[in-house]
Amino acid sequence: MAEIFLVRHGQASFGTDNYDQLSELGYQQGKLLGEHFLQQEQQFQGLYSGTLARQQQTAQALIDVYRAAAVELPSLTIDANWNEFDNHAQVDELLPAMLRHHPELAMDAKNMMNDKKSFQKILRTVFQYWILEEPQSSTLESWPQARCRFEAGLDAVMQQNGSGQSAAVFTSGGVIAAVSAIVMGLGADKVYGLFEPVINASVTRLVHNQHDISLSSFNEHQFLNAISGSTDFISYR
Query: For the segment 86-135, what is each residue's pLDDT rounded down to a tens digit?
Result: 988 999 999 998 888 889 989 998 988 888 789 889 989 999 999 998 88
For 103, residues 6+ apart whose C-beta sits below 8 A from its C-beta are none
Residue of 172, 230, 175, 205 lying closest to 25 (CA atoms): 230
- Cα–Cα distances in angstroms (integers) from residue 147 to residues 33, 56, 122, 207, in the given order: 27, 22, 22, 20
Give the pLDDT band of residue 76 (cuts 50, 70, 90): very high
Give the pLDDT band of residue 45 (cuts 50, 70, 90): very high
pTM value is 0.93
SS3 187: coil
Element (H, E) at 77: strand 76-78
Report all structural domains of the chain as residue ranges with CATH numbers, in order of start.
2-83+141-228 (3.40.50.1240), 87-133 (no CATH)
SS3 148: helix
Give the pLDDT band of residue 80 (cuts 50, 70, 90): very high
For 95, residues 6+ apart whose C-beta sits below 8 A from its C-beta are 109, 122, 126
